[in-house]
Structure 1
């Protein structure tokens, strides 16, 4: 077969890959699956791809980005998260990603030649060790100037030829569109999970966006508040206050999520969370979360003490009851939250923790759900602001 015929076959086949990306991926939700399928189709089209990566900058509170890696013989791609501090590490400095982010329009590296004559970076040594012969990386342009990266490598003797490179380049605009759609969908989901919680986020994505829409949920309600925060914020540097708050919220929030709770909002130095009673062990899970949070706070205070910081303390009020769970707010600005007398009761109990000197106060209604399973200390009946009858309270020191 002549070179011209080879190029003709490749051009026709890579057109099939472009058509597949354009017209037959609309029902595929996950970008890593699309990317893996695309690489397999490229091989069938005569483009000898043996390794490919997609490097994406994402909006996430913990991660700068993600890398999708496909290798020959794999039906699925591997996904690795990338830390925010990666750009200070040797794995990034001098890498193809570094060059692309600095403005390079293409990185091409002949991996067959003497390594001393080419670019010097560990990633090239790794690919040579895998028997790869040629490598190419391009920016993947999304709207508003956002640049991501796609790379391809082969083990073909002599590397990619001109027809292979042309076929890969033909994919880039369509891959950019397909990947941007999935990224924006993932971004929307991530932002909702970050700011309103996973359950509320799912409801909003499903269309629960009308003001006043919602449902009645029976749940255990937990309100937590940091003690003496006003004094801390008045006397400490701003960055120290933010760092302290983040540490405190990590200590309290992680156990809540781990034990099945839903954090609905952070309120300055406090938080509101619910454990829906549709889960039979919801109330027990809440107390397990409290136990773990107290342990985490003890560890945090030990760490803060080494830095000369004052120990932190919190108060928690817990009640159980029916709450209205849904959209509340103005015409243009909504909050997906819970309201109702049960929420008010939890808030009042949290305030009483200061007066009674017990960090965790539970209502009798909640205590009845965990009777016998946890050691609770009855602290008597107490008047609660906004409620006509005294409330029997229990303290939990677990």
Structure 2
């Protein structure tokens, strides 16, 4: 390697070792790497970074850097992409499965073995190289480089890339694992709870008392449905039902804390503006969406209980298995109201305390004072006015 590239390599290795402690983003580091290579004299025209992130909705991300474009383009990659013929007949497949570098000089004339090379030729690129990025536990990712220099990459440039990629792989693994931990926590405990856990709230009994609007939902006739329908169909119905109610909850700023079999527990903390109004909007939108469905759909019906009050928000469980959730009388009352939707034949029952807090009496119907199992005093119970009476069945 020439003295010039020796200096470049040392500079890049030093930057990767000590210059990125405050940068959490893999995409930003990749973007900076490409620009540094160009600043050091590389004729780099295009580069891509392919990462398997195992998000619940997609397998990975693809980051595309193109010279003279101000920002790298970040795209999601579907879980089924690796089963497609396009992927099977690509250098990506070869690199992922062999763990070896692939390099191809782009020919001006004549067909190439992979379609991606034809596309690169049409874009003006002349040389292409794809490399594995090996992380721990057998996880393998991919990075590619292309140039539009007429004579392609110099041998010193390929050698330099080979020298810096092991450290770049380590740097990206640290960020990717942090991202994966955050994604998994957000998926399983919600965004607010995940941030508290990442900040260190992992001790049993730790938590805070907060005021919140609480809603509890439960699918109707699930036991009979599960006994009569195939497993995969039951799971599909459950997912459809949870989508129906979860999407408006998340859109209006609620936190889904738990899926309990066919039930759902969600809170709207009162320290956020208009929490009660946003809960009402979420519930109304879910039932409106249900009412618009075809009668031939799988007959999803669910009851909802709504209350407001103080809840303990934190860790409960055994010494080695914790659950980050909310507990307290307000949660219990919301659950009891949901159970009463069956006997009172109304899909949504709301406590008098919530009606006062939300000032929503005009949108509800007073059903009188009722005894609530587990509570000493009679409580005012209201029903949300909605058109879909069949939801109560």
TM range (shorter): over 0.9
CA contact (8 A) 1:109 1:119 kept: no
Structure 2 residue 117 is the aligned partner of structure 1 residue 120: no
Higher deviation after alignment, 317-326 or 97-106? 97-106
Structure 2 residue aligned with 1:379: 367
CA contact (8 A) 2:305 2:350 kept: yes
1:174-253 paired onto structure 2 within 5 Å: 174-253=167-246
CA contact (8 A) 1:252 1:297 kept: no
1:1-398 paired onto structure 2 within 5 Å: 7-103=2-98, 105-116=100-111, 118-121=112-115, 123-298=116-291, 301-302=293-294, 305=296, 310-372=298-360, 375-398=363-386
Pairwise CA distance, 1:14: 2.4
CA contact (8 A) 2:108 2:121 kept: no
Structure 1 residue aligned with 2:389: none
Coordinate RMSD, CA, aligned: 1.6
Pairwise CA distance, 1:279: 1.5
Question: Against the structure 1 CA distance between its residues 115 and 325, is the aligned structure 2 distance closer, same or farther, given a 3 Å change threshold?
Answer: farther
Measure the CA separation in 1 of the matches of 2:238 and 2:91: 37
CA contact (8 A) 1:198 1:262 kept: yes
Measure the CA separation in 2 of the matches of 1:347 and 1:363: 11
Question: Against the structure 1 CA distance between its residues 30 and 373, is the aligned structure 2 distance closer, same or farther, given a 3 Å change threshold?
Answer: farther
Higher deviation after alignment, 278-287 or 311-320? 278-287
Unmatched segments (≥5 aa) in structure 2: 387-393
Pairwise CA distance, 1:388: 1.0
CA contact (8 A) 2:95 2:101 kept: yes
When the two structures are superposed, what TM-score results if normalisation uses the length of structure 1? 0.93
Pairwise CA distance, 1:372: 4.8
CA contact (8 A) 1:252 1:296 kept: no
Question: Against the structure 1 CA distance between its residues 396 and 372, is the aligned structure 2 distance closer, same or farther, given a 3 Å change threshold?
Answer: closer
Measure the CA separation in 2 of the matches of 1:91 and 1:273: 42
Measure the CA separation in 2 of the matches of 1:144 and 1:371: 55
User: Over residues 190-228 of structure 1, what are the superposed CA-to-partner deviations in whole Å (9 max), with x where a residue is unaligned?
Assistant: 010000000000011011111111111100000000000
Pairwise CA distance, 1:11: 2.4
Measure the CA separation in 1 of the matches of 2:152 and 2:277: 61
Measure the CA separation in 2 of the matches of 1:199 and 1:15: 42
User: Over residues 162-211 of structure 1, what are the superposed CA-to-partner deviations in whole Å (9 max), with x where a residue is unaligned?
Assistant: 11100111111011100100000001100100000000000110111111
Measure the CA separation in 1 of the matches of 2:13 and 2:101: 21
How many residue pairs end up in the alignment?
Answer: 386
Measure the CA separation in 2 of the matches of 1:321 and 1:127: 61
CA contact (8 A) 1:142 1:176 kept: yes
CA contact (8 A) 2:91 2:114 kept: no
CA contact (8 A) 2:128 2:147 kept: yes
Measure the CA separation in 2 of the matches of 1:187 and 1:305: 40
Measure the CA separation in 1 of the matches of 2:180 and 2:257: 19
Pairwise CA distance, 1:114: 1.9
Aligned to 1:35, the other structure's residue is in SS state helix
Higher deviation after alignment, 222-231 or 369-378? 369-378
Higher deviation after alignment, 286-295 or 93-102? 93-102
When the two structures are superposed, what TM-score results if normalisation uses the length of structure 2? 0.94
Question: Against the structure 1 CA distance between its residues 373 and 81, is the aligned structure 2 distance closer, same or farther, given a 3 Å change threshold?
Answer: farther
User: Over residues 33-74 of structure 1, what are the superposed CA-to-partner deviations in whole Å (9 max), with x where a residue is unaligned?
Assistant: 000001111112222211111101112111111111111123
CA contact (8 A) 1:10 1:47 kept: no
